Structure 1
Amino acid sequence: MISQLPLFEIYGAMARYAAESQKVSATNIAHADEPGYKAKQLESFESYLARASNSAAHTGLNTSFKVVETNGPVSPSGNSVSIEMEMFKSAEAAGQHEQAMTVYSKSLELLRTALGKY
């Protein structure tokens, strides 16, 4: 029931997005020395929300995240991974995940308090 409330659904999706973004960054870093590898990233969270809300299948926020190639500079070997950028994205994703979990847990606390079950 709680997961069907819009606030919980959005912040649950934000936490999943941040976790998936961490995976994409880790994959990019793992391929940093591979010639010809093109760095990838997730579509923006805003794009994901818009696409999920307009989904013809009405899957809502269960829609999967799109992975796209980045447009960063390419090394002579054809690799476009920037370790610095991936570290930045990883830290940003960690912050997004922390924010999502904080809002989720505080909202749950408020709901429990309102219901007198705290």
Structure 2
Amino acid sequence: MFENLTIFKTASAMAGHAAQSQALISQNVANADTPGFVGKQLPPFAELYTPQDSTGSQRATRAGHLHGSTDAQQMASVDMRVADNPNDNSISLETELLKAADAKSQHDRALAIYKSAMDVLRTAGSTR
């Protein structure tokens, strides 16, 4: 009954996406003064995460995906952004700070989902 709880997989994937996002944001900030540096970002979580359908098989989200591959470390591809600032690179510290706040919010949301699901399981287990 409790072997395959999708809510925990979704929360884990969301937290992993937030962590990958935060890592790329920190690289972008660290290279904000590097001329010619091209910043990186992840597509939104909703575009990348594809839950299993009712038959249990997985759908490919990109042409290069192998069906059935769910490795969280390679969940997302990296998009390049266009250069748009006077430092001759693509980094805007203000934008990166906003993205960092969004990644933290996404991570906090994933933890809240996980905690809520655990509370439901505890409640269900204590009523027996």
Identity of aligned residues (%): 32
Q: Which residue of 2 aligns with 1:67?
A: 78
Q: How far does residue 74 in structure 1 lie from its aligned partner after superposition?
A: 3.7
For residues 51-74 of structure 1, give each alpha carbon's deviation from its aligned partner in whole angstroms, at most 9, with x where no partner exists: 994234312363422111123514
List structure 1 segments (4+ residues) > 6 angstroms apart after TM superposition.
none
Aligned length: 116
Structure 2 regions of 5+ residues with no counterpart? 53-57, 61-65
For residues 28-86 of structure 1, give each alpha carbon's deviation from its aligned partner in whole angstroms, at most 9, with x where no partner exists: 000001010011101221221149942343123634221111235143x4211000000
- Work out whether residues 85 and 92 of structure 2, in 8 Å CA contact, stay in contact via their aligned partners in 1: no
- Work out whether residues 29 and 83 of structure 1, in 8 Å CA contact, stay in contact via their aligned partners in 2: yes
Quote the RMSD (CA, aligned, Å): 2.5
Residue 78 of structure 1: SS of its match in structure 2? coil
Q: Which residue of 1 aligns with 2:120?
A: 110
Alpha-carbon distance in structure 1 between the residues aligned to 2:77 and 2:22: 14
TM-score, normalisation: structure 2: 0.78
Q: Which residue of 1 aligns with 2:41?
A: 41
Please identify which structure carries the higher helix content: 1
Q: Which residue of 1 aligns with 2:59?
A: 54
